[in-house]
């Protein structure tokens, strides 16, 4: 382990090099030290994780299986390293230690999700509540509050109870709407006297896209014969439609039954890449807007107008579900805030309609995405092939949302980058994630710039607090501010980026 003296020296060197590199490469970035004080009073800083990626204890204390338990156990070949979330990083047993780490980082809030099947093993109230699961979340929430940390709770972060998948196909069936509402009702009742910030769904776009168009995420469905059944041209739209309606019903329940007495807020977290036209022509500009409509706009348009965007309606036609008049009224305005997950920006060029090609969400936007222009990458690549670093994109997407969607209250719920997991690398070296400091410094700079230009952003959460189970990539990538030693009892070590954040968030 690095000694304290070496830690401080490394931190000094990293910060110095970061500022030098940042300003040498981008003259727009001012010389100086961003800090908590650079942001408005009351601005919230935190970090996040999710139940299946962090908790472990997959078969303990009465928890029922979820679709990721089934997917990883039945199809380990679909996970990069054949791993699963049975143990993950064992936060279920180590939550007190983890809360102290959050406190030591000077963070205001911790974003985590509840495992639906941990508190309702059969997915339904009629199947019985798991009191041990409810007690775990009570313990975690109380521990956070006792240490001055606000809980930000997500109800659904992709780990659907397997019982509902088996009974009626999960989110492919509108029965999910009432079952999600009942699950949300239980959570509001059990935890809402202390939880003041609720998110219904995390990145419903990626759940639909990965799980039902590409087939790379549970439940692994798509049109390709290599998938586990499915139809990429219809199922992603059905699943997203049901997520939107389930969200809206849960929000109405919270607002009519709980909000006045619990005094909390409720929203949804959406994925929001930015898209730049590859060429200097109207066709690519329109393609870039379509790409945005088919990702962030897929959900934000109904939430603000009560209907899908015209570009989606015109292209998807009868494959796109319709909202009834009553549903449209229910969905429109069903949020107190929007969570935004921003990681990267794509170049986009127009793709003409293709004749004779089976319809698929993956091609419906008629937009080809890339990360290079004239052979030059849009920015440095992280470990993930989909993550190229483009901090300006955060400001651009925030200002676009401000103008197009009437400047809603926004919290950045995920922002971060990953490195490869190298088991041969000594822990001391693995902690020196200088690139992550530069990543966050740049994004926080452009975030502050967006706020100065009027974007209504109230908080920022790093992804993620710890290295963890990265879905289809297993444990091959590391997103954490804190290092998890998978070879030595899941010990936690702060990376240099964690110490940078600790210093960044110091209070007077």
- Looking at the DSSP assignment, which residues form a beta bridge with residue 177? none
Q: In this structure, what token pair is assigned to residue 64? A: 């029922």
Return d(Cα 368, Cα 500) in angstroms, integer: 37
Catalytic residue among 301, 414, 419, 473: 414
Question: What are the backbone dihedrals phi and psi of residue 181, each rounded to the nearest 5 degrees, phi first?
Answer: -60, -45
CB 88 within 8 A of CB 56: yes
DSSP-derived 3-state class of residue 369: strand
Question: What are the backbone dihedrals phi and psi of residue 275, each rounded to the nearest 5 degrees, phi first?
Answer: -135, 125
| CA-CA-CA-CA dihedral for 52, 53, 55, 56, to nearest 10 | 80
Q: In this structure, what token pair is assigned to residue 233? A: 């041209």
Q: What is the pLDDT of residue 17?
A: 39
Could you state, in order of their start, the residue ranges of all structural domains in the chain? 43-505
Q: What is the pLDDT of residue 356?
A: 87
State the DSSP H helix or E strand holding residue 119, giving kind and residue range, or none if neither: helix 116-119
CA distances to 7, 99, 238 from 470, rounded to whole Å, are: 28, 21, 26
Our answer to whether residue 414 is catalytic in this structure is yes
pLDDT tens digits, the chain, 508 residues: what are they? 333 333 433 343 344 334 333 333 444 444 457 999 999 999 999 999 999 999 999 999 999 999 999 999 999 999 999 999 999 999 999 999 999 999 999 999 999 999 999 999 999 999 999 999 999 999 999 999 999 999 999 999 999 999 999 999 999 999 999 999 999 999 999 999 999 999 999 999 999 999 999 999 999 999 999 999 999 999 999 999 999 999 999 999 999 999 999 999 999 999 999 999 999 999 999 999 999 999 999 999 999 999 999 999 999 999 999 999 999 999 999 999 999 999 999 999 999 998 889 999 999 999 999 999 999 999 999 999 999 999 999 999 999 999 999 999 999 999 999 999 999 999 999 999 999 999 999 999 999 999 999 999 999 999 999 999 999 999 999 999 999 999 999 999 999 999 999 999 998 7
Return d(Cα 398, Cα 462) in angstroms, integer: 17
Q: What is the pLDDT of residue 354?
A: 87
> pLDDT digits over 98-124, tens only?
999 999 999 999 999 999 999 999 999
Q: What is the pLDDT of residue 13?
A: 37
Q: How many Cα atoms occupy the beta-carbon half-sphere of 9 within 13 Å?
A: 5
CB 310 within 8 A of CB 297: no
Q: Residue 390, exposed/middle/buried by CB under 10 A (0-12, 13-18, 19+)?
A: buried
DSSP-derived 3-state class of residue 499: helix
Return d(Cα 317, Cα 249) in angstroms, integer: 25
Q: What is the pLDDT of residue 32?
A: 57
CA distances to 118, 212, 418, 501 from 434, rounded to whole Å, are: 37, 37, 12, 12
Q: What is the pLDDT of residue 184?
A: 99
Our answer to whether residue 203 is catalytic in this structure is yes
The three-state (H, E, C) secondary structure of 280-337, written as one string: CCHHHHHHHHHHHHCCHHHHHHHHHHCCCCHHHHHHHHHHCCCCCHHHHHHHCCCCCE
Contacts of residue 463, Cβ cutoff 8 Å, sequence gap at least 6: 47, 48, 341, 414, 415, 416, 479
| CA-CA-CA-CA dihedral for 466, 471, 474, 477, to nearest 10 | -50
Q: What is the pLDDT of residue 81?
A: 98
Q: What is the pLDDT of residue 33?
A: 79
- Looking at the DSSP assignment, which residues form a beta bridge with residue 276? 347
Which CATH number is correct for 43-505, 3.20.20.80, 3.40.50.1100, 3.40.640.10, 3.40.50.2020? 3.20.20.80
- Looking at the DSSP assignment, which residues form a beta bridge with residue 113? 154
Catalytic residue among 55, 203, 301, 473: 203
Cα angle for residues 443, 446, 448 (degrees, 5° grid) = 110
| CA-CA-CA-CA dihedral for 128, 129, 130, 136, to nearest 10 | 170
Q: Residue 225, exposed/middle/buried by CB under 10 A (0-12, 13-18, 19+)?
A: exposed
In b/e form, how buried is each residue of 19-35, taking b as 16+ CB within 10 angstroms?
Answer: beebeeeeeebeeeebe
Q: What is the pLDDT of residue 508?
A: 73
Tell me how crowded residue 507 is: count the other CB atoms within 10 A of its CB.
Answer: 8
Cα angle for residues 80, 84, 86 (degrees, 5° grid) = 165
Of 275, 336, 274, nearest to 303 (Cα)? 336
Q: What is the pLDDT of residue 355?
A: 87
């Amino acid at each position: 382990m690095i000694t304290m003296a070496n830690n401080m020296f490394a931190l000094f060197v990293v910060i110095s090099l970061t500022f030098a590199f940042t300003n040498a490469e981008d003259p727009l970035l001012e010389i100086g030290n961003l800090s908590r004080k650079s942001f408005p009073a009351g601005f919230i800083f935190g970090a996040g994780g999710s139940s299946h990626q962090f908790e472990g204890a997959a078969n303990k204390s009465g928890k029922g299986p979820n679709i990721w338990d089934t997917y990883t156990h039945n199809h380990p070949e679909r996970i990069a390293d054949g791993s699963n979330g049975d143990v993950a990083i064992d936060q279920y047993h180590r939550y007190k230690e983890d809360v102290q780490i959050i406190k030591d980082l000077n963070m205001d809030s911790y974003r985590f999700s509840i495992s639906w099947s941990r508190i309702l093993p059969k997915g339904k109230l009629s199947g019985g509540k798991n009191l041990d699961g409810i007690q775990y979340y009570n313990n975690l929430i109380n521990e956070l509050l006792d240490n001055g940390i606000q809980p930000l709770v997500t109800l659904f972060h992709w780990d659907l109870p397997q019982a509902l998948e088996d009974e009626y196909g999960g989110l492919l069936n509108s029965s999910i709407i009432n079952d999600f509402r009942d699950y949300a009702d239980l959570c509001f009742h059990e935890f809402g006297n202390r939880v003041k910030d609720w998110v219904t769904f995390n990145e419903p776009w990626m759940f639909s896209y990965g799980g039902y168009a590409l087939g790379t995420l549970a439940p692994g469905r798509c049109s390709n014969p290599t998938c586990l059944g499915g139809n990429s041209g219809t199922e992603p739209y059905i699943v997203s439609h049901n997520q939107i309606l389930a969200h809206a019903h849960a929000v109405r329940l919270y607002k009519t039954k709980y909000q006045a007495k619990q005094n909390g807020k409720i929203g949804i977290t959406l994925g929001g890449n930015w898209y730049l036209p590859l060429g200097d022509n109207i066709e690519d500009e329109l393609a870039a807007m379509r790409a945005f409509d088919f990702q962030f706009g897929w959900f934000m348009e109904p939430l603000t107008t009560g209907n899908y965007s015209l570009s989606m309606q015109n292209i998807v036609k009868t494959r796109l579900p319709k909202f009834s008049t009553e549903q449209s009224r229910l969905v429109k305005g069903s949020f107190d805030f929007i969570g935004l997950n921003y990681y990267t920006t794509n170049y986009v060029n127009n793709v003409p309609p293709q004749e004779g090609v089976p319809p698929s969400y993956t091609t419906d936007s008629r937009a080809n995405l890339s990360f290079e222009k004239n052979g030059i990458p849009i920015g440095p690549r992280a470990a993930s092939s989909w993550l190229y670093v483009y901090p300006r994109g955060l400001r651009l997407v925030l200002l676009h949302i401000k103008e197009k969607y009437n400047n809603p209250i926004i919290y950045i719920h995920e922002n971060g980058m990953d490195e490869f997991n190298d088991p041969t690398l000594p822990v001391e070296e693995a902690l020196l994630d200088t690139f992550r400091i530069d990543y966050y410094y740049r994004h926080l700079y452009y975030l502050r710039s967006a706020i100065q230009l009027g974007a209504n952003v109230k908080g920022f959460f790093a992804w993620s607090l710890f290295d963890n189970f990265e879905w289809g990539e297993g444990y091959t990538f590391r997103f954490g501010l804190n290092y998890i030693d998978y070879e030595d009892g899941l010990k936690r070590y702060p990376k240099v980026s964690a110490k940078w954040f600790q210093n960044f968030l110091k209070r007077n």
